[in-house]
Chains A and B, each alone.
Chain A
């Protein structure tokens, strides 16, 4: 089974802190994604990466950055956390191939509260 692991499930941070959310996948997938999920807004794409050291902005990149130094690891960084970044953050990966290779696999989510 594909495993996408988010290291932190629940975090509470103060406004202005730098926050790191780590994600590791164990299936050698090319594509990795970071989403945030909010009630009434659904899933919104923050950043994605299609290869090591490559990154592309999603729909809501402001206030976030990412790092992909190794194929299996994709980190989301909040440079200066703000209360409006309180949300559930979901990491995902996909092999981006034919057939069911387009399937996106999600981690369990990281609940971030910024106070």
Chain B
């Protein structure tokens, strides 16, 4: 079993829809959680960072963490064609002086105008 599971998609939605992207994980030691957006042939860019269970909102994006269920989500409201990209979840732990971050495989999202 992988430490982090993420459905690769692709996921196609109409413009204006609410998008839900999810990851599950098995390592209860993870301390912080991130979501990245990656456009084609570009590097990933950070969207959201959180370290506690609950919701964190930033504009049209909401990150949700449920540590008891080992489940994180990213919601995109009023989705736009410019949101078409691959979304990667990432989970990290700092241990023994090292930073260890594990990434999901990424979900490819297409928002249809």
Contact = CB atoms under 8 A, between A and B. Distances in A.
Q: Contact residue range for chain A?
A: 20 to 34
Contacts of B34: 103-104
Contacts of B43: 4, 90, 106-109
Interface majority SS (helix, strand, loop, mixed), chain B: strand
B63 interface: no
B75 interface: no
Nearest to A95: B99
Interface stretch (B9-17, B64-72, B77-85, B88-96): B88-96
Contacts of B99: 31, 50, 94, 96, 102
Nearest to A56: B98
Contacts of B98: 50, 56
A42 B94 contact: no
Contacts, number: 52
Nearest to A111: B41
Interface residues of B, number: 25
Contacts of A106: 36, 43-45
B32 A102 contact: yes
Contacts of A64: none
A100 B32 CA distance: 9
B103 A43 contact: yes
Contacts of A90: 43-44
Nearest to A108: B43
Interface string B36-62: 100001111110010100000000000
Given A4-B43, A42-B105, 18 more contacts: A40-B105, A43-B103, A50-B99, A100-B49, A102-B31, A102-B32, A102-B51, A102-B92, A102-B94, A102-B99, A103-B34, A106-B36, A106-B43, A108-B42, A108-B43, A109-B41, A109-B42, A109-B43
